[in-house]
Structure 1
Amino acid sequence: MTMQKTASVSVDAMLEDLRTLVEIESPSGVLDALRASAAAVAAVIEHRLGGRATLVESEAGPHVHWSGGGEPKVLVLGHHDTVFPLGTLERRPFTVADGRVTGPGVFDMLGGLVQAVHGLALLDDLSGVEILVTADEEVGSGHSRALLEERALACGAVLVFEGAADGGRLKTGRKGCGTFEVSITGRAAHAGLEPAAGVNALIEAAHQVLGIAALGRPEIGTTVTPAVASAGTQANVVPAQATVSVDVRVESAEEKERVESAFASLTPQLDGALISVQGSVRRPPMPESASAELMALAQRLFPGIEGTAVGGGSDGNFTAALGVPTLDGLGAVGGGAHADHEFVLVDTMAERANLVAALVDAIRTSPAPALLGRPPGRRVAGRSVGAGQQGPGAP
């Protein structure tokens, strides 16, 4: 291994960088905030690792890409957007107390980014290493997916720095996930004078919600959850419009196809009602087979570390679906993702940074062909991507 003999990670320095990123605030879709956040992420990377980080502009905000040069072998993947609106920091400022770091985005996933960078800083040689930090993971990765898939294929192994699972476990599998929007059109009428002249979109929605919920098969990991509904305008008007938003999670491609087909086949129960459906299972399932070799490597390097499959999705779903070995949950140890009690455990930060260094170095220094059998010349989004080819935004 090429880790420096005398170097050690500084928790104080990690906390300093984490404070910098958290105090900028970076809610998805707020472009000015994301530009500031991307610049800060790039500055942290350059300060700790040297070289130049490139800002890759997109309609969702800038993504940050950095390369250590040489033939790409491992992609360190994360995101800098968060789910918290501007102003959250005033109510919930960055704080270190009682062994915990709190503040908007510390666990999902700014803490993981900082740990990754400081772990990489322990290595003498970063050739073959790429970092990609996207700006739209929390809203589906619509503007970063092609880029992250391209770099994943070029590198041949992906380490995702989303927060760890309970107890610090790595994430070896994820469900595919998506949102469906069911729109119902009825016909308005006076609820007192001639209710029968209307077509009640709310009643139609009630019929549909029961049928939609029945699509779930929790015994095989499929959950279908009607989550948000709206209908009507006034209490004395038969509702002419209704919408239902549905969260879907699946563990297999077969279930993805079944559920998508079922939504496409929804039919009205009331005469005169119309139904339209938008959405899909955008993030494909990440099977545990995609992480098997990398997880085995992690366990050889750090005996006792455990893994688990989880229900949430990440950009690791996309890279695993391409057949690229992917290991997730390498980020911060803590909890409360997307919630006001979000936190990171301070006494785990150094160990996770050391895990990053050991994993990346083992992959990076593996003999050719790559440790995990990276296939050359795969295609993505209509482009051929060879083992050493640089993609958009590569310096």
Structure 2
Amino acid sequence: MSTVDPTISALSVWLALESPTHHAPGVNGMMDLVAKEVEGLPIAVERLPGRDGLGDSLILRAGPNNGELAVAVMSHLDTVHPVGTSAKDLPVRVEGDKLYGPGACDMKGGAWLALQAFKEVAIAGSAKRPMVFLFTPDEEIGSPTTRGVIEEIGRKSAAVLVTEPARDGGRIVTARKGVGRFDVRLEGRPAHSGTRHADGRSAIREAAHQILAIEGMTDYARGITTSVALVGGGTAANVIPQHAWFSVDCRVTSLADGVMMENRIIDLAPRDPDVVIKVTGGMNRPPYEKSTAVAGLFETARGIAAGIGFDLQDVPMTGGGSDGNFTAALGIPTLDGLGIDGGGAHTLAEFGLVSSIAPRRALIKGLLETI
């Protein structure tokens, strides 16, 4: 008679509870699961009410109260998958070494395994420093309601461990690009496209010029990328369009390039002087650079991994942003990508590798006990 792997069983419960960012009941349900899991343990629980229609945050505290800076762990419990995904397109299931489900890789797998490590260390009383574990509800949309608490905890920490998924082969992240998001709105002059065409000033025509200009700002040699992925406008097929809009995504490798690109995009000037352009937004995640302190923390992690039995490697600066960008930009040594190894994040083929859970859990336990 076969037995169910308790790790798979426990993590499957998390995957089955769908928690897209804008579905506060699901996100809060995830916070409930975490709070219930630490009941009766030497772990203090603080719950921060959500705002702007988003879910709550949860802060766990444990370890010695010795006045030292803390070691902080950070995970988000929101996902990109809408409610109903697990029932139709991405059912929770195991196929060989792959555990499929919404958020299996990004990042419930990492959050779950890190919580187990945190509990182990709290119960054993083996931490040298206070430990803090922050669970957030809004990372997938840029952490608009939680950046303040992320930075507050970061400033009181000697190191920050982020449980975003590992990169291919279990490699972790020690540098990320900065991320900017902008919204561009254009207003032209409407006119009948048949009888008064010359009187019109097309907002869509102007948007086309601006989109090409923004896409042309990409500079691969400097690690700068710009893209327009959402666009809209117009009112009817026979009207010169008065309104148009589009979004801009910008990635940079340095703070200086972030300032430069923000100014270039904010200062967009219309080719047609009769069209008005309004740009809002900015750089919302600063670059996370591999400083000397980050490199030192990585070497500590490599030593712990070697003792567990695997060779830990990192990746070159990656284009995706995370909450680690915020703490690293404050000068706090930050390691990211410490979560589950897997693939298909943000797709309907998302999975985590079951075989990666135990060693990644042991790595985080070792970091909590060593830093």
* TM-score normalised by L of structure 2: 0.91
1:45 CA drift (Å): 3.8
Confirm whether residue 65 of structure 1 aligns to residue 62 of structure 2. no
Confirm whether residue 13 of structure 1 aligns to residue 6 of structure 2. yes
Q: What is the distance in 1 between the residues matched to 2:80 and 2:131?
A: 28
| Structure 1 segment 160-179 matched on structure 2, within 5 A | 160-179=162-181
Q: What is the distance in 1 between the residues matched to 2:38 and 2:219?
A: 44
Q: How many residues align?
A: 352
Equivalent residue for 1:300, pick from 278, 300, 303: 303
1:392 maps to which residue?
Answer: none
Confirm whether residue 337 of structure 1 aligns to residue 345 of structure 2. yes
Confirm whether residue 188 of structure 1 aligns to residue 190 of structure 2. yes
- Give the share of equivalent positions with the same residue, in percent: 39
1:26 maps to which residue?
Answer: 19
1:87 maps to which residue?
Answer: 84
Given that residues 14 and 118 in structure 1 are in contact (C-alpha distance below 8 angstroms), is that contact kept between their aligned partners in structure 2? no
2:94 maps to which residue?
Answer: 96
1:306 CA drift (Å): 0.2
1:119 CA drift (Å): 2.2
1:37 maps to which residue?
Answer: 30
Q: What is the distance in 1 between the residues matched to 2:98 and 2:231?
A: 37
1:50 CA drift (Å): 4.5
> Helix, strand or coil for the counterpart of 1:310?
coil
Amino acid at match of 2:280: Q
Q: What is the distance in 2 between the residues matched to 1:45 and 1:18?
A: 15
Structure 1 gaps, min length 5: 1-10, 364-395
Given that residues 75 and 135 in structure 2 are in contact (C-alpha distance below 8 angstroms), is that contact kept between their aligned partners in structure 1? yes
| Structure 1 segment 321-360 matched on structure 2, within 5 A | 321-360=329-368
1:118 maps to which residue?
Answer: 116
Q: What is the distance in 1 between the residues matched to 2:177 and 2:97?
A: 32
2:322 maps to which residue?
Answer: 314
Given that residues 44 and 62 in structure 2 are in contact (C-alpha distance below 8 angstroms), is that contact kept between their aligned partners in structure 1? no
Given that residues 38 and 119 in structure 2 are in contact (C-alpha distance below 8 angstroms), is that contact kept between their aligned partners in structure 1? no
Amino acid at match of 1:53: V
> Helix, strand or coil for the counterpart of 1:167?
helix
> Helix, strand or coil for the counterpart of 1:157?
strand
1:244 CA drift (Å): 1.2
Given that residues 14 and 114 in structure 1 are in contact (C-alpha distance below 8 angstroms), is that contact kept between their aligned partners in structure 2? no
Equivalent residue for 2:72, pick from 58, 75, 81: 75
Q: What is the distance in 1 between the residues matched to 2:15 and 2:295?
A: 33
Q: What is the distance in 2 between the residues matched to 1:336 and 1:133?
A: 22
Equivalent residue for 1:55, pick from 47, 59, 63: 47
Q: What is the distance in 1 between the residues matched to 2:301 and 2:273?
A: 59
Given that residues 20 and 40 in structure 1 are in contact (C-alpha distance below 8 angstroms), is that contact kept between their aligned partners in structure 2? no
2:213 maps to which residue?
Answer: 211
Q: What is the distance in 1 between the residues matched to 2:326 and 2:75?
A: 13
User: 1:2-45: CA deviations, max 9, x gaps?
Assistant: xxxxxxxxx93332221121111111122222221211122234
Equivalent residue for 1:109, pick from 107, 110, 125: 107
Q: What is the distance in 2 between the residues matched to 1:197 and 1:299?
A: 67
Given that residues 180 and 262 in structure 2 are in contact (C-alpha distance below 8 angstroms), is that contact kept between their aligned partners in structure 1? no
Given that residues 45 and 117 in structure 1 are in contact (C-alpha distance below 8 angstroms), is that contact kept between their aligned partners in structure 2? no
User: 1:240-289: CA deviations, max 9, x gaps?
Assistant: 11111111100001110110110121111113100000111100000011
Q: What is the distance in 2 between the residues matched to 1:104 and 1:219?
A: 35
Q: What is the distance in 1 between the residues matched to 2:302 and 2:25?
A: 41
User: 1:71-96: CA deviations, max 9, x gaps?
Assistant: 45200111111111111121122111
> Helix, strand or coil for the counterpart of 2:209?
helix
Q: What is the distance in 2 between the residues matched to 1:67 and 1:51?
A: 6
Structure 2 gaps, min length 5: none
Q: What is the distance in 1 between the residues matched to 2:236 and 2:169?
A: 49
Given that residues 17 and 44 in structure 1 are in contact (C-alpha distance below 8 angstroms), is that contact kept between their aligned partners in structure 2? no
Stretch moving more, 77-86 or 126-135: 126-135
Amino acid at match of 1:305: L
Q: What is the distance in 2 between the residues matched to 1:279 and 1:211?
A: 18
Q: What is the distance in 2 between the residues matched to 1:330 and 1:266?
A: 39
* TM-score normalised by L of structure 1: 0.86
